[in-house]
Structure 1
Amino acid sequence: MSGSGAQPPPASPGPGSSPPGPGGQQQSEPPPSMLSVDLPALVSQFARSFALVFPVYVLGYLGLSFSWVLLALLCLFWMQRHRGGKSSRLGRALAFLHDEERAVRLTVSTGDLPAWVHFPDTERAEWLNKTVKHMWPFICQFIEKLFRETIEPAVRGANSRLSTFSFTKIDLGHQPLRINGVKVYTENVDKRQIILDLQISFVGNCEIDLEIKRYFCRAGVKSIQIHGTMRVILEPLLGDMPLVGALSLFFLRKPLLEINWTGLTNLLDIPGLNGLSDTIILDIISNYLVLPNRITVPLVSEVQIAQLRFPIPKGVLRIHFIEAQDLEGKDTYLKGIVKGKSDPYGIIRVGNQIFQSKVIKENLNPKWNEVYEALVYEHPGQELEIELFDEDPDKDDFLGSLMIDLTEVEKERHLDEWFTLDEVSKGRLHLKLEWLTLMPSAENLDQVLKSVKADKDQANDGLSAALLILYLDSARNLPSIYEGNFGCGYLKERRASGLVFCENTTSLYRALFHNPLDYNPDALKKSAVQKALKSGKKINSNPNPLVLLTVGHKAQESKIRYKTNEPVWEENFTFFVHNPRRQDLEVEVKDEQHQCSLGNFKLPLNQLLASEDLTMHQRFHLNNSGPNSTINMKIALRILSLEKQERSPDYQHSAQVKRPSVSKDARKGSFKPQVSNSPAANRAPVSMAADPDKKTDAAEKSHPSNPSPQGPTNLSRSSSGLLASNLSYSPSHLSVKEPTPSIASDISLPIATQELRQRLRQLENGTTLGQSPLGQIQLTIRHSSQRNKLMVVVHTCRNLIAFSEEGSDPYVRMYLLPDKRRSGRRKTSVAKKTLNPVFDQAFDFSVSLPEVQRRTLDVAVKNSGGFLSKDKGLLGKVLIPLASEELSKSCTQWYDLTEDGTRPNVTS
């Protein structure tokens, strides 16, 4: 030891100190700069603060009431509660997947049990779930590749504003798709096919994020639940490998769907939009995967896929929804002390087709006497589902349900029975069901026309005598689109050039004539065509074609194919035909962007009657189109025949009535039922007038006589590929029930009339206006005695006033006065930016002929602005006293629009 004292041990470096240098010296770290700032965090904090403060500033700047702040807080709290409920349901579903057997034993109610518990012919097939779980990572890779290589480029090419669209994250989660039960059909099945029903359930904690960089917009999905029954058909079975020719997939009915949104799409969780968003997505799924739509995967090249994509329905179910007895009284008074009656109506479902009957006010023994017709594509596994409800202003009360196996109906062909309602203490329902067979020959057409009384009735809105089935394949050599100082093509020279000119009438008048009255399209010769070609501005050399198919008053539209002269649709359509000898099929190819016609043709249906098997498959030449423009279609006509079974006198049938799978407790939390607007659900009922000579006392006989229809009924379209139709049949019973009066319409009427008068004075401005300054509307009005309904067809309007510099967005609203309830309102679709809109939409009002003589038809043409837009207003109005109209005959007339609806001058 040295004499100097012990040196203290060197201090160990702290966690934040630098390690010693090579020479044992410790390197000092420069102190952090005082000016370093986390810029992204600062911008994020500023954005959040601005988003909180700016709405308050806007409220003060506009001088709005403090109640808007309370309304915003209410919406915010409701959104948080709704999202919390979604997260809770997702957590319960995930917990159920982790330990299914334990959850089934302990916590799951009877109504929520899997299908393999309820039905002995449904197998659990856990081996299939283990296989899917093992394959799930590779399935996720395939789906991610599909999103990035197929969907993302398609979205970018659909619109120039979406050129920066991209998926930033695609993660389907670690929970695979589950199959809760498998059922294989062995009876009533073709020997060359295998039919399986898979109970599909997917509860995914997935994350799918997308971004549009151009608008700094981010959105996404963080969880999805989907439950449904998917049918898998393997057909045809072959004698060579791989033994199966093709695979077809589809849902028997719309699946249950729940989505939890993130980012900007959180707005879809606000009140009023949360249910709408899921409905829109379900409608998109229905257009691809819900019967009659399907996905067909060929497994061998020799299989005619066109045959598989042209499915012929197994039959048509005609439902006579007659009456009910001894229903429960749900309307109470004095807080339940005094029991009243009910306002019953029915919801009828056949697969994806939904019908709603009229409401019978205050009656426990209602008589509807309505008829519906529904297509049946796959009767094994499909049921007729009927639910009765009591109409209330808030939530409708449940009155009973009924499920009938369609396989039994097909065997019986004809059923006329009283059925006891399930899930209620009392109540019976009287139905008459008829199974109509599709016949490929016209041998018994006269008998069928006589049975539906189409041999005497000139109208095209009765009970159906035939079914028209179309397969829209493709089109070739469609003309291109140009826009210039030229009208839409009238001359052969324009069509021969392979072009379609979009109309610009104002510039055409200025360029060619001093007096617009001198305009004569037949005077424009080839030199004028060349002049227009030189001066025309090329907008898009390739059109965006869609096809409009029309039979009578029923119309359907195909999907849009973008930027192509040779579109391929591969879509199916069906039409119910009242009289094939008098009706025509009208086909028009249109450009979606410019609303120009690219060609058309008309096919009388009596030509199909002379064809082999009532079928035509060929390319049809398009009129008013290019020289070589054609459209490829397969068209089949099938006669609806009721084949009566020969039974022994002591034979008794047993229509299988199934118990509903939804428990009554689960139904109590459901909201008011709404009728879907899907195309397959659009069917109009017919009111049947009972024969007075065949009245029977229902109290004396257990099976009262069925009132037979006195005439045909109007049954509307059924579409397999319809996304949005500008030309549609809009029966009253399919509208969403809104029994409350339209108070806002009554209050705004005087203000709208004053604004219209001011607009008229501005238009006049010292000049003399014509006889019809507000324009005219063309209507067809007729009363159908067989259906006991007033039929109104809104055809077109002309010379409407412009509500803005871009024109007007007109639509037509109708009431049958004095009824001004919202349930009595009828509205057409909106025609964008036009002063001469074409609607061609039919509506009906349930009213008898003596009563309609005392009514007045209130028709108003209005301008439709956007949400919170100031461009909404009245364009003109007409009040038509129906006592002065010849309603027994179908009469089409022009009516002058005025500011208050008076003085309706009529022009034939």
Structure 2
Amino acid sequence: MEGTAGPGTRANGPVPAPSGNQVPPPPGPPLAPEQLEEEQPSSLADVSQMWIKFAKTFAIVFPIYILGYFEFSFSWVLIGLAMLFYWRKNHGSKDYRINRALAFLDHKDTAARQSLPATELPPWVHYPDVERVEWLNKTVKQMWPFICQFVDKLFRETIEPAVKGANPHLSSFCFTKVDMGDKQPLRVNGVKVYTENVDKRQVIMDLQISFVGNTEIDIDIKKFYCRAGIKSIQLHGMLRVVMEPLLGDMPLIGALSVFFLKKPMLDINWTGLTNMLDIPGVNGLCDGLIQDIIYSYLVLPNRLNIPLVGATELARIRFPIPEALVRIHFIEAQNLLGKDRFLGIKGKSDPYGLIRLGTKEIKSKTIKETVNPRWNEVHEFLMYDNTAKMMEIELFDEDPDEDDRLGNVMIDLAELKKEQRVEEWFDLEDGGRGKLHLKMEWLCLLPSPEKLDQALLQIGAKSSSAPDGPSSAVLVVFLDSARNLSRNPLEFNQTGLRKASISKAIKSGKKVTSDPSPMVQFRVGHQSLDSKIKYKTTEPVWEEHFTFLIHNPKNQKLDVEVKDTKHECSLGKLDLPLTRLLEAEDMTLSQRFPLKTIGPSCTLKMKMALRVLSLEKIPTSPSTSTPSSVQVRKSSDPPSPQRPACLRPPSQTSPAPPPPPSRTCPTGGTNRSPQAGVGGGAGGQSLAETGKSKSYLAISGSQQFLNGGKEPTPSIASDISNPYSAQELHQRLQQLPNGSGSSNSPLGSIQLTIRYSTQRNRLIVVVHACRNLIAFTDHGSNPYARLYLLPDKRRSGRRKTHTHKKTQNPKFDESFDFSVTLIELRSRNLDVAVKNSGGLLSRHKGLLGKVLLDLNHEDITKGWTQWYDLTVEGKPRP
């Protein structure tokens, strides 16, 4: 990491103690003038030294003159010499050693000052602030028995199998005893944490450790009758722990680096066969080999790295890139409730929509006085790993006092991710009426510049168009840090400062030069984002990420400006065309960018990535893919052979013959749902006209939207309560040209999709179509489908489709749900009946066929689509 102060650096971190094999530093700079004055004596000092020497000489000669003047014997001279020699013999050597030591210290201090300037001295030279941590030693003492248990398991369960597997001759190797000692042998004598001259994204800590214990580790190789072991271990040294990089998410630390600053003192007492290593001569060689092994792993520049976060996870935390982008075309709605009343008469509404995904909420425009609004808006949401997987769309009627609710739709984004693209009409739930037309796309972010032209073509972007509209790419920016920001805004940014600020500073007489409080502003087109403010610093560290939606990266650029909020001026600017990212490797740039200033060189460290939006897969044809609740497929297609057969044995289900040509005709009114295919070209066509089915990404309400909000006229004779319906159907079967013909499925068949949603605890049933129904009149039948989840036969538990007129091959494509738990569902049956509709007094109404399905099936949560043969009683034919 650039700008990180490693343990071995001097300018940006503590300086480790030099080891014995390091090369001595070169001579430092010359002494300062004041130091030269201290070394060279002045003329006054020379005169003083001369007088001192004269006094010493006089003190020696004058006693001799006194001895001669008073006629003392020569023996007194011999006595004086003997006393002098005796004093020098006992005290002179001590004074000599003291003088040599003082001279050595003076010389060492001078050499240190010459080799290392005072600005580069580590903090402990001036301030010995090593702290005692008795609380840590007490904690280790309390935990020591459990540490011993962990070490014992480590030796026996990890190291012992590894040694046995390393060599066949060591297959009988085992640890007979692993005892770390009953008393705490490990102590931390001092701790120092560095807070100055270190990078802000790391923590450096020095531990003075001491391990002195009666550790006993015995091994036995039974094959060679070899027993050896260790009786005691002593270890003393300075251990450095570096924690970097610091993160904003748990576990807050990316990795640990552990190493000794210099060679630790190690003493091992051997036992058993290895006791021979204590022989003089061999002892030093053995200890030296063991120490070299330890030094090769744990002494600077070697270190033990312990990652706490994986490389992929670390990159994701530091530089999160969205998983995908969800694009929603908020098109239109039909037949909404009229909430505005005038004189008690229902009128129209002023509808608008709210789209919620996670913490983001977007409001559409309001369409005045209509129940069939048309918005034609496009909204985009970025999806991260922790983004909510459900999207809610609510419609409201805007009122001056309180907005009235018109209904909502819940979108399962997991289903959208599978389908990639869905366009259809959704039924409003929670008391709402009407339908909502949406088109949704799940776009993946790819580092593929060759897919950009395709993305631009899909959104209709032109090289000369304004940077508005749907996005073709996403720009992710990680703002790291800045260096060498100016401290004098008047010197380099005179035009950028406010006149009021200048005059105020001049009048007050205060210094304008001071540390700035910088922030960074990013602009792409009309989008603008600001970073946090870092107060009073010339080297701020932000570590923030920003995301921009890009319309056309070929003609857009990223504008970056560093501002000083304290002096209200600009500290530097940067213009980066996005075409540089298109040409970069993996469409990513990570470097220090120079800022445009007229002052000193300022740099801004950033990492940027451009990702192109593209569909991960092209929606396949329904005939070759597995049907699902979101898939756009034709109702006339036969079921996929890979789909589970049905709830009954496969032998009881006849193969589906090719469907006959559709003879359906469109019904009048606005209750027909406009069909939207994958490409969205169907527009307002009816389902019968297009011949396609809807894919229900949202779970519709229990009552399907019908014409005018009313249900079709129900049949008076229920096929469950009145056995006459079954008798009449038997009679009609006998009147068919082929007789009963039960083996040829004379009543036709119905296509159903059945799936259970565990998220919502609902059974989803989609009625797609029927084929080869019997005709009640010469013009055909007026069929509709009725559903019950037995044993519930109440009116509130009934589900019905709308009625198709004069057809024997209707296409319904309607979805229904039943609120039921999965456990309760195992004991329920689904009753589906196809009936002919008629007037209140009409005789052309009755049962066309039934299907009874047992829902106790393991694959019901996965769902399937299948054709089922209609029978009189609903039971499968033998």
TM-score over 0.5 (shorter chain): no
Q: TM-score range by the shorter chain?
A: 0.3 to 0.5
TM-score, normalisation: structure 1: 0.35
TM-score, normalisation: structure 2: 0.36
